[in-house]
Amino acid sequence: MTTPTPSVRSQCPYCGVGCGLELLPPAQPGQAVKKDEEGNPMWTARGDRSHPSSQGQVCIKGATVGETLARGRLHQPLYRASLDQDFEPVSWEQALQTITDQIQTTLANKGADAIAMYGSGQFHTEDYYLAQKLLKGALGTNNFDANSRLCMSSAVAGYTRSLGSDGPPACYDDLDHCSVAVLIGTNTAECHPVLFQRLIKRKKRNPGSVTIVVIDPRRTDTAKAADIHLPIAPGTDLALLHGIAHLVMRENGQDVAFIDDHTENYKPFFDVVARWTPRKVARFCGIPEKRLREVAELFHRKQRVLSLWSMGVNQRREGTAVVQGLINLHLLTGQIGKEGAGPFSLTGQPNAMGGREAGGLAHLLPGYRIVTNDQHRSEVEQAWGFPQGQIAATPGLGAWQQVEAMERGDLDLWWVAATNPLVSMPELDRVKAAMQNCALVVVSEAYADSETSHYAHLLLPASQWSEKAGAMTNSERRVTYCPAYRPRHGQSRPDWEVFAEVGRRLGFEQHFSYDSAAEVYAEFSQLTEGRVCDMSGLSHELLSESGPQQWPFPRGSEPSQGAKRLYSDHQFPTPSGKARFSTDLPQGLAEPPCDTYPLVLTVGRYLGQWHTMTRTGKVKRLQTMHPEPLLEIHPEDASDLQIKDGALTAVSSRRGHLTARAKITNRIRKGSVFLPMHWGFTQDQACEVNALMHDQACPVSKQPELKACAVIAAPAVSAIKPPEQVSNQLVKLRRWFSPAAQ
């Protein structure tokens, strides 16, 4: 009898819930080999019951990931000297030489700051770490940023300013223990479905155990399950949070002992929120005062309040202030560092957390260090074996600043890896033009048909999750070892290997001599020793043998000894050891509606699609769930604008236009419209919603306000399609990733 091939365990490579997956091989004794739609042997995924974060649960994206791994892949490096030429295949040797030549020329002509890399929460921690060592260490520029800038940087800044360090204080078990769950700016039902189902199951099994509050301008699937839904006007959440604080104080719901012993800046905070009276807040937010009072009553020192948030809070020009406004409520009521309570950011990507730990933003260094801190730079320089002063003391270019630098002609090399900025950035037409103004655009991608590939000079085929070993950290600080269980696709290579190879070719052989991802991880984890995110006790070996672990996990820790929650001792990593109340005043939207553009366009995600669809766009079941992007519009607005249900509708902002079919619904507030963010110009139903968005960003976190801009909508005569030049490029590029090209 033939023995079945064993399954392997890994973390889902989609959202930041980071569910455990069990992967089953294509061939099992006595069964036909499972194949995807292109005939490639296909691994199938199911929930891993042994994974503590998800306990066997999985959503449709994770369950279908096996269908995406071999389709539409880039097989070999491709190069063209200018964007109007066709790509031609080149060897890895030629590709790497092109990169190192460009780096050396740029260093000689303009200096290291004319080089930038834009990475991704799709990276494994090892990829992230070596990108930092290459850019910030070997080259001496801090111009590494990641798509976490568009996703989580307001959470990072908010935690750091209020609590002294990045790091979500809570864990998923808190969903089972909270008495109040406040979901603000998060459509958890569609974007983090496994967590949402955990909360809903608890509520159904134990009626009355938890009150769910949803704060969202849109009546999402999440809001439908709420006990209280506050459909506030877009951009008014900070005022709402101040209003809740005002009422908590008025009703003596604050935790005086906690405030006295463990916080600072209370008096200025008190003075700010004193001005946000219930009547003023209710009018400002467009909600009944009664509802505001009901929510404020739930925030009380005697409750266990868990606050969950994601993009609706972070993607705002006052994103950091709103994060801090929410943390204020937890400090006011002492709801932090204890079971069932705390502020808890839900990460969009599978390893955005690992990126933060590895220093993967332009102002960070590994181990939650920052580039402006002399001591931090010195520690990292020493660990990396570079001379003192090698790491620049100023933050590098953030994501949008990299685009602006290309516009000015200040960047001669832009290296994009594992992300698709030509769907996810704001003002997409500006990004396209900027990329045409850069001497060499390198795109490292697993898939050949990403929108960004069409504006690249050099395409590098990347081995993706399942083909390379590495670690990822999910939203609750749990690190999972992700093994390589499939062969590398075509000539693809893991990003960390490519970064190391470039480092060696630039003369840093000693610094980049690694034989395995395990060696890279070992070096990284030692750099976290003594930091808030201490994971010096973790290694590939331990994670592989003992399963996923939460940090902090200092050297010598036993498996499962990682801390579930941060700050249980109420000691915060600030100079005083105390957390800090913030005092920001609400500003509202950067681009409010006006007579010309009277509607607020807000964007979000569908359950069955993930980000820019490079993976999920290849799964027929998911395409059937969401065949096209739909413009949600309120019945009264539709009537005023003579827009019919199902009719093609044009939407315009100050920056661009698109068309989409209208869906008339009460889900959306009057005065607002909604579109999903997934469909880029390579999709049949192209709908470049971020082309309409502006570039105004939070001044602290530099995270753009991708959640709202002012638009006008009207019946459309015909659909807006990609220009002919782009369509031709699509056809040409697809030659290189058809199966025949293998």
Taking the least distance from each CB to ligand SF4, the nearer of 18 and 617 is 18
**Residue 60 CB, nearest distance to ligand SF4 (Å)?**
7
- Can residue 171 be called a binding residue for ligand SF4 (CB under 6 A)? no
Among 15, 292, 405, 691, binds ligand SF4 (CB under 6 A): 15
Among 58, 95, 321, 710, binds ligand SF4 (CB under 6 A): 58
Q: How far apart, in whole angstroms, are the C-alpha atoms of residue 181 and residue 306?
A: 5
**Residue 614 CB, nearest distance to ligand SF4 (Å)?**
14
- Can residue 346 be called a binding residue for ligand SF4 (CB under 6 A)? no
Token representation of residue 397: 């270019």
Among 62, 77, 137, 421, binds ligand SF4 (CB under 6 A): 62
- Can residue 14 be called a binding residue for ligand SF4 (CB under 6 A)? yes
**Residue 674 CB, nearest distance to ligand SF4 (Å)?**
21
**Residue 410 CB, nearest distance to ligand SF4 (Å)?**
37
Please state, as a whole number, how many other Cβ atoms lie within 10 Å of the Cβ of residue 738.
Answer: 12
Q: Amino acid identity of 314? A: N
**Positions 217 through 276 that interact with ligand SF4 (CB under 6 A):** none
Taking the least distance from each CB to ligand SF4, the nearer of 61 and 661 is 61
Sign of torsion over alpha carbons 491, 541, 528, 572: positive
Taking the least distance from each CB to ligand SF4, the nearer of 60 and 730 is 60
Among 8, 36, 51, 61, binds ligand SF4 (CB under 6 A): 61
Taking the least distance from each CB to ligand SF4, the nearer of 531 and 605 is 605
**Residue 44 CB, nearest distance to ligand SF4 (Å)?**
14
Among 8, 59, 212, 380, binds ligand SF4 (CB under 6 A): 59
- Give the range of 58-66, 109-117, 134-142, 533-541 binding ligand SF4 by CB under 6 A: 58-66
- What DSSP character marks residue 643? P
**Residue 610 CB, nearest distance to ligand SF4 (Å)?**
7
Q: How far apart, in whole angstroms, are the C-alpha atoms of residue 409 and residue 396?
A: 16
Taking the least distance from each CB to ligand SF4, the nearer of 100 and 197 is 197
3-state secondary structure of 139: helix
Q: Which residue in the shown chain puts its C-beta closest to ligand SF4? A: 62
**Residue 198 CB, nearest distance to ligand SF4 (Å)?**
10
**Residue 542 CB, nearest distance to ligand SF4 (Å)?**
22
Taking the least distance from each CB to ligand SF4, the nearer of 150 and 622 is 622
- Can residue 175 be called a binding residue for ligand SF4 (CB under 6 A)? no
Please state, as a whole number, how many other Cβ atoms lie within 10 Å of the Cβ of residue 264.
Answer: 18
3-state secondary structure of 258: helix
Length of the chain: 742
Contact 404, 425 (CB under 8 A): no
Q: How far apart, in whole angstroms, are the C-alpha atoms of residue 537 and residue 551?
A: 9
Q: Amino acid identity of 614? A: T
**Residue 23 CB, nearest distance to ligand SF4 (Å)?**
13
Categorise residue 667: left if φ over 0, alpha if ψ from -120 to 50, beta otherwise.
Answer: alpha
CA-atom Rg of the chain in angstroms: 25
Q: How far apart, in whole angstroms, are the C-alpha atoms of residue 518 and residue 527?
A: 14
Contact 80, 106 (CB under 8 A): no
**Residue 296 CB, nearest distance to ligand SF4 (Å)?**
31
- Give the range of 187-195, 279-287, 457-465, 630-638 binding ligand SF4 by CB under 6 A: 187-195
- Give the range of 54-62, 503-511, 587-595, 611-619 binding ligand SF4 by CB under 6 A: 54-62
Among 8, 10, 19, 332, binds ligand SF4 (CB under 6 A): 19
- Can residue 18 be called a binding residue for ligand SF4 (CB under 6 A)? yes
Taking the least distance from each CB to ligand SF4, the nearer of 17 and 157 is 17
Among 112, 194, 416, 689, binds ligand SF4 (CB under 6 A): 194
Contact 327, 158 (CB under 8 A): yes
Contact 121, 146 (CB under 8 A): yes
- Give the range of 11-19, 85-93, 154-162, 216-224 binding ligand SF4 by CB under 6 A: 11-19
- Can residue 296 be called a binding residue for ligand SF4 (CB under 6 A)? no
Lookup result for tokens 């685009």:
403
Lookup result for tokens 């798509």:
147
- Can residue 12 be called a binding residue for ligand SF4 (CB under 6 A)? yes
In this structure, are strands 78-79 and 458-461 parallel, antiparallel, or unpaired? Answer: antiparallel
Q: How far apart, in whole angstroms, are the C-alpha atoms of residue 583 and residue 240?
A: 14
- Give the range of 9-17, 380-388, 620-628, 713-721 binding ligand SF4 by CB under 6 A: 9-17
Q: How far apart, in whole angstroms, are the C-alpha atoms of residue 88 and residue 86?
A: 6
**Residue 12 CB, nearest distance to ligand SF4 (Å)?**
3
In this structure, are strands 180-184 and 305-309 parallel, antiparallel, or unpaired? Answer: parallel
Taking the least distance from each CB to ligand SF4, the nearer of 54 and 98 is 54
Q: Amino acid identity of 733? A: L
Contact 707, 234 (CB under 8 A): yes
Q: How far apart, in whole angstroms, are the C-alpha atoms of residue 197 and residue 638?
A: 33
**Residue 195 CB, nearest distance to ligand SF4 (Å)?**
7
- What DSSP character marks residue 331? H
- Can residue 482 be called a binding residue for ligand SF4 (CB under 6 A)? no
Q: Amino acid identity of 190? A: E
**Residue 56 CB, nearest distance to ligand SF4 (Å)?**
11
**Residue 11 CB, nearest distance to ligand SF4 (Å)?**
7
**Residue 349 CB, nearest distance to ligand SF4 (Å)?**
10
- Give the range of 15-23, 382-390, 666-674, 733-741 binding ligand SF4 by CB under 6 A: 15-23
Categorise residue 634: left if φ over 0, alpha if ψ from -120 to 50, beta otherwise.
Answer: beta
Q: How far apart, in whole angstroms, are the C-alpha atoms of residue 515 and residue 312?
A: 42
- Helix/strand/coil percentages in the chain, nearest 5: 35, 15, 50
Taking the least distance from each CB to ligand SF4, the nearer of 196 and 597 is 196
**Residue 454 CB, nearest distance to ligand SF4 (Å)?**
27
Distances (CA, A) of 559 to 39, 389, 535: 41, 38, 12
Taking the least distance from each CB to ligand SF4, the nearer of 18 and 367 is 18
- β-partners of residue 450 are none
Number of C-alpha atoms within 13 angstroms, CB side, residue 279? 0
- Can residue 193 be called a binding residue for ligand SF4 (CB under 6 A)? yes
| Count of residues that interact with ligand SF4, criterion CB under 6 A | 13
Q: How far apart, in whole angstroms, are the C-alpha atoms of residue 303 and residue 318?
A: 28
| Residue ranges binding ligand SF4 (CB under 6 A) | 12, 14-15, 17-19, 58-59, 61-62, 192-194
